Structure 1
Amino acid sequence: MTTLMIAIIAAIIGAVLFALIGLISGTDETAIMVPFTLIVILLGAPPAAVLAFFLAAVLAKHLTHAVPTALMGIPGDTMAVPLMEHASVLKRLGMPHIALRKMISGGVIGAFIALPTAILLGQFLGQFGEFFKTYTGLIFTIAAVIIAFFSKGKWVSVLMIIPLAFFIKGLDTFSFSILEKHLSISFFLGIAIGPMFSDLLIALSSSSRHTLEKPKPKEYHLAPETKAWSGYFPNPFRILTRRQTAFTSGATFLSSLTFVFSPVGMTSLMGEITAARTKGAYKKSTSSLSVMNGVTESTYIAEALIPLVAFGLPLSPVALGPASPLFNAPPVFSSDPVNNLHSFLSPSEFLLYGAIGLVVAALIAYPFSMNYARKATIFVMNKISQEAIIGMFIGLACLLAFYEAGLVGIVLTFTMATVGGLLNRILGIGSGVQFMVFYGSTWIMMTLFGL
């Protein structure tokens, strides 16, 4: 079977799988993207197929996450949180279906603008690749400080960098004394599932359980399904007005260039700029939603591809979170030394296989969301247990940790998940900060203590 066929098959699997996962509200991108991407890599998929799978998964997830956000009034995932205000306005006006259409149409446009923009910028920045590779440890540490300062926890995130690096290096040294090899996947998984795992721990605690308890089940009222287009596949340029298309195109292009900033922050910023330039509640909300969901796509795609094409080093929040296996998936990929997609794919191959992933996801997830959103939402609410989904991700983490290091890997994963998850939930030290500290921990400990 040719690489092209394998890439197409991988893209189809990624698109179908994550289109379904996106319908389930509250699914964290890092916790779901990391295990599945690792599985694809460790099963021996060629680099081109890994890229196609990942980009198809990203686009499909961010198209269908609009379904619970618009129709149920609850965020589909972390990236959907900034969209809640404008989605709620349209829901109160009785037009959640309009919100949904605008959101996913903006997402499709944003994705296809981001791909070539990210690859071109990555090629330009690649001229400075040797500098970045030489000072990798220092760059990770500086980046950890910057990301920590702009994270939810701010000063406590900055103050915890050295203690967290000490903790991570301690775990690494101890596991090395047992296995005589350094672990990576187990740390990734621990940080990725941390917020999800911390919720399970809180639910098991008699003193903290009340923070998660609700007095009664929530009630949701779904609008009837309406269709304003003929055929199965609607045209996103006809769903959006010309002004909305222009705003979405401009915002996604600009946000594709800012690969070092938080995707959530960029989504909020572009939404605020659009809202400030639009009058009327309906126009303001529909325009902002199309722009913001476009930016969720563009930031994710650009933040994964720019550092991958340019350096092969995970130097963005997305590269440190959901896209981290594209950079580090021992023994297949590594960033120190650089031996990952950066080494195996040329810029033209990034464009070709990236486009395959996006086209496949658009063909599957876009018409599905536009035509069957209400039916899919009812099915998920009635038939899918969120606890079962969480259990599935925890099980995947156990599988991959055991693959890397047996029982030691499982224990290390859940130790990291416990500490990282509680730091995230209680102190606001995000997964991006924790990933960056993990990458910089060796340099930090060597510089401070000579370890």
Structure 2
Amino acid sequence: MIEAFLWALSMGLVGAIVFAAIGLVSGTDETAVVAPLTLLVVLLGVPPAGVFSFFLAAVVAKHITHAIPTTLLGIPGDTMTVPLLGDAQQLRELGVPHIALRKAISGGVIAAFIAVPMAVLFAWILSPIADEISDLAPWIFAGAAILIALTSKGRWAAVGALFPFVLLIVGINQFVTTQLGHSLSISFFLGIATGPLVADLFLALSPAGRKTLHRDGPTEFALAPDVRTWSGRMPNPLKVLDRKQTAYTSGAAVVSSATFVFSPVAMTVLMGEVVGARIKNGYHKLTSKMAVRNGTTESTYIAETMIPLIALGLPLSPMAAGPAAPLFNAPPVYTVDTATGQTHNLHNLLETWEFLVFGLLAVTIACLIAYPFAMTNAHRAASWVLKNVSHEAIIGAFAGLILVICLYEGGLLAVLVTLTVGLIGGLMNRMFGVHSGVQFMGYYAAVLTVPAIIALG
């Protein structure tokens, strides 16, 4: 137990520090950065407690610092901050971007501490019917894929695109199995995760596509100074939010934890609108929506990872099928048997109480590192990133990491699979709004549902 705790503590620190820094860089999509690094941690042989703590601390820390570019610069820190942009812009126009930031990240801290025990509770409620759910997994994946597609920006286009995408995965997987003698999974996963990046790289190579990426000049930003409005080293989120904002954020965290099968972005938008409709004062409405929406980014990511992981061991949520996928399926370390639905992953390797303890430990570490940093150094951090951090260098680093992992799994053929899936998936995302969560569910439908349908015949 002591060894597991030390692993959880040390890897939580690594995850929190690394992703608190990554969150400062705008446009760093969670799936494209959290998933590959989590996969690397798994493949390096880190024990289950360390893997879980690393992942949870990473997403919590990133969802604290991702509010810095969103609120101060008006550019999305990642996918989950897009619903915050409108309210953040209005607060910038009022001259209080620092208030928008503090409300957002304080809501995130409160929601994170609520989501962990709520996720364990809801998982405990589902556990008695876990076997029945596992037996129905092929059909649940198909239904979940359609449901998630309907809640995406693409809606019916995303539903229609699922069928050719599933057939593409089935065909490539069959070809790869014939050539290598075994199927691939990590390479498909990386292709989906990095799809928008791969699509943009190909667009940059095309004279016609390059025009869509052209910018007339550098963007100018005006940053508010860092202002300290509290005493002591650690700010208290319960004092940053008023009582009503704390209540709204807490309620949204509970509701969004229970509805773990829905899109995190959709829940973020919905919770903000529900709360906003109850408040008449314009300023209080905007600041409350910032707290609730950023809180929902934390609660959905935590609950949508922990509930399927504890109760089922199957990636039956947009999060579990996306950024958290390495916690479920990272051969040869963690596996999901597509024929039987049997699992060997964190579901089998950690007890329920360990998820609670290590989950709260990871959240605490992330908040202790990222929250005071964001509250006191947002201006300096955002300014430094804008002046010194090269997006090209970040892209190059992740491209190198992806290349190494693909070569490890299946050589050059695996690299080609990642490029193929990434290009097609990225274009589907860019042109039709078929985001990575839909595509991941399509992948699992290809490896689970299609064999089940064939077996019926």
Task: State the TM bucket, normalised to the shorter chain.
Answer: over 0.9
Structure 1 residue 305, shift from structure 2 partner = 0.5
Structure 1 residue 138, shift from structure 2 partner = 1.7
Structure 1 residue 281, shift from structure 2 partner = 2.2
* 1:138-197 Cα shifts (integer Å, max 9, x gaps): 221121122122222222222222221111111111111121111110010000000111
Task: Report the counterpart of residue 154 of structure 2 in structure 1.
Answer: 153
Task: Report the counterpart of residue 219 of structure 2 in structure 1.
Answer: 218
Task: Report the counterpart of residue 36 of structure 1 in structure 2.
Answer: 37
- The separation in 2 between residues aligned to 1:444 and 1:54, in whole angstroms, is 28
- The separation in 2 between residues aligned to 1:363 and 1:61, in whole angstroms, is 13
Task: Report the counterpart of residue 25 of structure 1 in structure 2.
Answer: 26
Is structure 2 residue 350 aligned with structure 1 residue 362? no
Structure 1 residue 447, shift from structure 2 partner = 5.5
Is structure 2 residue 347 aligned with structure 1 residue 346? no
- The separation in 1 between residues aligned to 2:140 and 2:253, in whole angstroms, is 27
8 Å CA contact 1:191, 1:420 repeated in 2? yes
8 Å CA contact 2:152, 2:266 repeated in 1? no
Structure 1 residue 441, shift from structure 2 partner = 0.8
Superposed counterparts of 1:127-142, under 5 Å: 127-142=128-143
Superposed counterparts of 1:97-176, under 5 Å: 97-176=98-177
The one-letter code of the counterpart of 1:122 is A
- The separation in 2 between residues aligned to 1:99 and 1:350, in whole angstroms, is 32
8 Å CA contact 2:70, 2:81 repeated in 1? yes
Unaligned residue ranges in structure 1 (runs of 5+): none
Structure 1 residue 444, shift from structure 2 partner = 4.4
The one-letter code of the counterpart of 1:343 is N
Task: Report the counterpart of residue 331 of structure 1 in structure 2.
Answer: 332
- The separation in 1 between residues aligned to 2:31 and 2:454, in whole angstroms, is 32
8 Å CA contact 1:162, 1:444 repeated in 2? no
Q: TM-score, normalised by structure 1?
A: 0.98
Superposed counterparts of 1:180-191, under 5 Å: 180-191=181-192
- The separation in 2 between residues aligned to 1:87 and 1:393, in whole angstroms, is 29
Task: Report the counterpart of residue 438 of structure 1 in structure 2.
Answer: 443
Task: Report the counterpart of residue 71 of structure 1 in structure 2.
Answer: 72
- The separation in 1 between residues aligned to 2:440 and 2:404, in whole angstroms, is 21
Structure 1 residue 449, shift from structure 2 partner = 5.7
Is structure 2 residue 387 aligned with structure 1 residue 395? no
The one-letter code of the counterpart of 1:331 is P
Structure 1 residue 41, shift from structure 2 partner = 0.5
Task: Report the counterpart of residue 236 of structure 1 in structure 2.
Answer: 237
Of residues 398, 405, 408, the one that matches 2:413 is 408
- The separation in 1 between residues aligned to 2:37 and 2:149, in whole angstroms, is 27
8 Å CA contact 1:317, 1:432 repeated in 2? yes
- The separation in 2 between residues aligned to 1:390 and 1:272, in whole angstroms, is 35
Is structure 2 residue 209 aligned with structure 1 residue 208? yes
- The separation in 1 between residues aligned to 2:326 and 2:58, in whole angstroms, is 14
Structure 1 residue 445, shift from structure 2 partner = 3.7
- The separation in 1 between residues aligned to 2:90 and 2:432, in whole angstroms, is 31
Task: Report the counterpart of residue 320 of structure 1 in structure 2.
Answer: 321
Structure 1 residue 448, shift from structure 2 partner = 5.8
- The separation in 2 between residues aligned to 1:150 and 1:224, in whole angstroms, is 39
Alignment CA distance shift 1:187-1:227 (3 Å) = same
Task: Report the counterpart of residue 385 of structure 1 in structure 2.
Answer: 390
Task: Report the counterpart of residue 2 of structure 1 in structure 2.
Answer: 3
Task: Report the counterpart of residue 306 of structure 1 in structure 2.
Answer: 307
Q: How many residues align?
A: 451
Structure 1 residue 443, shift from structure 2 partner = 4.2
Task: Report the counterpart of residue 14 of structure 2 in structure 1.
Answer: 13
Q: TM-score, normalised by structure 2?
A: 0.96
- The separation in 1 between residues aligned to 2:452 and 2:324, in whole angstroms, is 28
- The separation in 2 between residues aligned to 1:293 and 1:10, in whole angstroms, is 24
Task: Report the counterpart of residue 62 of structure 1 in structure 2.
Answer: 63
- The separation in 2 between residues aligned to 1:274 and 1:150, in whole angstroms, is 20
The one-letter code of the counterpart of 2:208 is S
Deviation >6 Å, runs of 4+: none
- The separation in 2 between residues aligned to 1:439 and 1:217, in whole angstroms, is 41
Say what the alpha-carbon RMSD is for the aligned residues.
1.3
- The separation in 2 between residues aligned to 1:333 and 1:208, in whole angstroms, is 39
Task: Report the counterpart of residue 89 of structure 1 in structure 2.
Answer: 90
Unaligned residue ranges in structure 2 (runs of 5+): none
- The separation in 1 between residues aligned to 2:422 and 2:237, in whole angstroms, is 40
- What percentage of aligned pairs have identical amino acids? 52
Structure 1 residue 446, shift from structure 2 partner = 3.4
Task: Report the counterpart of residue 371 of structure 1 in structure 2.
Answer: 376
- The separation in 1 between residues aligned to 2:184 and 2:317, in whole angstroms, is 22
- The separation in 2 between residues aligned to 1:148 and 1:51, in whole angstroms, is 28
- The separation in 1 between residues aligned to 2:406 and 2:399, in whole angstroms, is 11
